[in-house]
Amino acid sequence: MVSLQKSHQRLVSCTKLLTTYVNQGCHHQALSLFSHMFSSPDIALDPFAFPLALKSSAALRLPDAVASIHSHTIKSGLLCSPFVASALVGAYGKCFSINHARQLFDECPQRNAAVWNAAISLYAHSNDIATALQLFELMDVAPTASSYNTIIAALAESDEWPSKAIEFYRRMRCSGVKPNFITLLALVPSCVQIGALNSIKEIHGFAIRCCVSTHAHLGSTLIEAYGRSGSLISASKVFDEMPERDVVAWSSMVSAYAFHGYAEIAVSTFKQMESNNIRPDGVTFLSVLKACSHAGRADDALKYVDVLTKHYGVEAYSNHYSCLVDVLSRAGRLHEAHKIIRGMPVMASAKAWGALLAACRKYGEVELAEVAGRVLFEIEPQNAGNFVLLSSVYAGAGMHEAAEGVQREMEERGVRRLPGSSWVISQKPHCSN
């Protein structure tokens, strides 16, 4: 009796440690501990240890380990455990293929909601939303919040079906399954994508009633959603009502003001953030630069690049440099913008070169337009807009042969013209004496 009790205590202790390793991402240590537990004659493994080992095996992409654990579960009769079965389905999907995982799912003797969710999740994460939906409809057990959340997240992230995510959310509520924090986080971006301000308000109201509206992550998501949907008052209200504001919340508020062209308020909000000892990150950095871009404040943009990179140690990425190039280009400081592009520690994006080329057309800068255009022809060989822009620069400078040459080059490369666009190369009429 004593030995059985000690064995159980050792199993519980080892399983707790195993759980800690897995949750902290220490998967090699987790598998080493599982191997020790498996080979120890004093420990009789139960169904709770195997899903943990399978999770680590899948995270490390170790198909042999997954297959070995699968084999042992069959011999030990543990495959009937839904905990083990759902973990095996997920592991097979990551380490082998969805077809292997589906075969295992079809052969499971007992399938609870967790097993169904594992299979649905595999299809959803593989962008096979149609099959994920089909499996959901075939469930012979009551769907859980996780079942709905997986479908809602997949629909919300798709370009084709964001409105269906909202429909599925309402179906979830009608079914009696209560949406949770994960549901709302997954759903809000789809409302932004289709511009459904009323749906954002509906979700916000539900979050208030369920007492999750004060969560920092959800609050930040709502601020961004309201801001992009044109309701700055609502965005500001969410921000003001948050009991604690982290860097994401502050950055979302700065971004909302910048998005609508309120550069002064955006910069003022950033200064408040500094005074509250909130350390800015890359998102804040980009939001401030966008505010400067909208207001045409090139000198301020250069100042904030210096402050954020040198004082705060925020690393500048391609998007930051592209935004800075855009600010300088809009202000007509084209050669400075070109110098920034040439001095970037990362490869300049099409966005940066495109901003320069567009400004060259506005300011009639032919030489830099040729440089930017040629680079863009290589980066985006099928983007007709770049050819049209360069041709327009030539035409505006009276270089009609060069403009026609760009048109011929575009045709020779097989680049399709933009829908509804046409080439217009104006020439001054010859005056007769």
pLDDT in tens, 361-381: 999 999 999 999 999 999 999
* Residue 80: per-residue pLDDT: 85
Q: What is the pLDDT averaged over residues 95-109?
A: 90
Q: What is the pLDDT averaged over residues 306-327?
A: 89
Percentage of the chain exceeding pLDDT 90: 58
Helices (runs of H) and strands (runs of E) counted in the chain: 24, 0
The helix (run of H) or strand (run of E) holding residue 144 is none
* Residue 3: per-residue pLDDT: 65
The string of pLDDT tens digits covering residues 383-399 is 999 999 999 999 999 99
DSSP secondary structure of 189-209: HHHHHTT-HHHHHHHHHHHHH
Please, which pLDDT band fits residue 428 given cuts at 50, 70 and 90? Answer: very low
Domain boundaries, given as residue ranges, for the chain: 1-140, 142-244
DSSP state of 310: I
CB 119 within 8 A of CB 143: no
* Residue 150: per-residue pLDDT: 94
Q: Which fold has domain 1-140?
A: 1.25.40
Q: What is the pLDDT averaged over residues 135-159?
A: 92
Percentage of the chain exceeding pLDDT 70: 95
* Residue 1: per-residue pLDDT: 43
* Residue 134: per-residue pLDDT: 95
Amino acid identity of 129? I
Residue with tokens 């509906």: 202
* Residue 209: per-residue pLDDT: 87
Q: Is the predicted pLDDT of residue 160 greater than 90, yes or no?
A: no
